[in-house]
Structure 1
Amino acid sequence: MQVWQRACQQVAVPKGSRAVLAVGCEISLWDPLLLRWLLGMREADLSLAIRTEVGVSQLLLDKVAAGVLDIAIVYAPQQRPGLRVELLIEEKLVMVTTEKVPRLPEPADYVYVDWGPEFATQHGLAYPDLSNAAVIAGLGPLGREYLLAAGGTGYFRLDVVRTHLDSGLLRRVPNTPEFLYPAFAVYAAGADPDIVAPALDVLRKVATLRDPARAP
């Protein structure tokens, strides 16, 4: 069914486009990487119709293997035969706070964002007392917006909160560990280079941007 769905999409190429490019992004990584990439692809004017989706890593990789997606952007992908994995960016998770005097938080003031099992293990070793946080968010953007609105402390991707740090809305909590959160591009070894290569080029460019408001 997935292969048939992909075939139907390729047949239904919009007028003026030479092919359909399908890209999926893991839920915790789409903001702002996927938007930057879409804007970059539009500027590149590659005559490709674009379809995007956001989902969990395992399902996205399944779709790449089945040919439903051309590229998946995920965190810590499992190696699979027939798939190529390329590091895009080595993102960091850092502890930030709305407090004017940054300090280690109490559980009642902490917003725990579920960044995956590896983060949970490292975080549990570093902060066993914060495992019972008052607020637990399964989505990074939700946790970030809650933190900005209600106040508190939590771990977030540095690239995403950088503008808030620059403006003073958030502050780094000193002497706290950073956790790596890299993003990878996964695509089929036999993918059409005329479709995948330009998309990867734009991904590499936008992955190095630091200001979410900038276009490539």
Structure 2
Amino acid sequence: MDVNLARTFLMVAETGSFIDAGRKMNITQSTVSARIKGLEDLLGRELFERSKYGAELTAAGEQFQKHAMALIRVWQRAQLEVGTSDQHSDHLAVGAPIAFWDGFLLRWVSWMRSNTPDIAVSATSGLSIVLTQRLLEGSLDLAVMYRPTQPPGLMIEHLFDEEFVLVTSAPANQRRTSTDYVFVDWGPDFQKDHAAAYPELTNPGLNLDLGPAGINYLLNNECSGYFPIRLVRSHIARGRLRQPKRARKFIYPVYAVYPEAHNEEAYEPILKSLRQLAKKHA
């Protein structure tokens, strides 16, 4: 299938308009209409409900949307690998939630670049459910995540257990209040466990979906929040943050996830280096 059909479909879905999609893509409305009609003919289903107000996805269109995104990602990966084939013997696409990059996976990428410079590396962050889909569609080679599902075709390997601890930048003699608390969003599992442990903090005044960057807020404001111990250990040692006594801890296993059908000879040194780094966080 022509990848431009998928791109045009996604643009119409985003803008809700054939006219606006054409403007953004610098093509005519008739070209947009022809591409969508051609796509619908290929699939045998209408993808949009047309009206004078614009275009809305049909049930079939909603189903096709994830596949269109996958087609674009696979095409982009093909372009990248072909474009770098004269400089690198292979390419590794790695994904993980943002929490893993700072202090862990970026160190591993640094090792990869120093020890296997002939392998090009692409790194991305995302939710576990999205990363799993990308592993299945073939646009990712390896992912690191908490509590993954295991669809057919994927291997999961335990790396270490991540401990989330409550830390605060407020003075020890200062009484904590709910207004001093910052909810740092570490994903669906953490949201559920946190709500069960702290029902009184389900609607805090500040939510940060910024991952490790949220530490900077604590360092510059007298407040508290949950972070992986590996990210705040140095700040605790220097006295910039402290752990309140008897605070609840949350522990989540961390896994490497990769295709079941993989080149063992090529993957083994990559996985070995990841395991060795993971031991330092165990």
Q: TM-score scaled by structure 2?
A: 0.69
1:68-107 alignment runs, 5 A limit: 68-101=139-172, 105-107=176-178
- Return the offset for 1:103: 7.3
1:165 aligns with 2:236: yes
Cα distance between partner residues in 2 of 1:171 and 1:84: 38
Matches within 5 A, 1:1-216: 1=71, 2-45=73-116, 47-101=118-172, 105-209=176-280
Contact 1:102 1:172 (C-alpha < 8 Å) held by counterparts = no
Deviations 1:83-139 (A, max 9, x none): 001111201000111123177731110011112222222222222222222211112
Name the CA shift for 1:102/1:31 in 2 (closer, same or farther; >3 Å): farther
Higher relative contact order (CA 8 A, sep 6+): 1
Does the CA contact (< 8 Å) of 1:40 and 1:206 recur in 2? no
The Cα of 1:193 is off from its aligned counterpart by 2.4
Instruction: Give the conservation status (yes or no) of the 8 Å contact 2:182–2:208.
Output: yes
More helix by share: 2
Quote the sequence identity (%).
39
Where in structure 1 do 4 or more consecutive aligned residues deviate above 6 Å? none
CA separation of 1:122/1:107 partners in 2, compared to 1, >3 Å: closer, same or farther? same
SS at match of 2:195: helix
- Which residue number in structure 2 is paired with residue 213 of structure 1? none
Task: Select the structure of larger CA radius of gyration.
Answer: 2
Please, what is the CA RMSD of the aligned residues?
Answer: 1.9
Tell me the amino acid that sits aligned with residue 23 of structure 1.
V
Match of 2:222, as an amino acid? G
> SS of the counterpart of 1:172?
coil
**Structure 1 residue 31, shift from structure 2 partner:** 1.6
> 2:114 corresponds to which letter in structure 1?
E
- Count of residue pairs the alignment pairs up: 210
Give the superposition deviation at 1:196: 2.5
- 1:79 is displaced (CA, Å) by 1.3
Provide the C-alpha distance between the structure 2 equivalents of 1:177 and 1:49, rounded to a whole number of angstroms. Answer: 41
Question: What CA distance in whole angstroms lies between the structure 1 residues aligned with 2:173 and 2:101?
Answer: 28
Unaligned runs of 5+ in 2: 1-70
**Partner amino acid, structure 2, of 1:108:** T
Deviations 1:134-169 (A, max 9, x none): 211112223211111112111110001010011110
Verify the 8 A CA contact 1:89 1:184 in the aligned structure 2.
Answer: yes
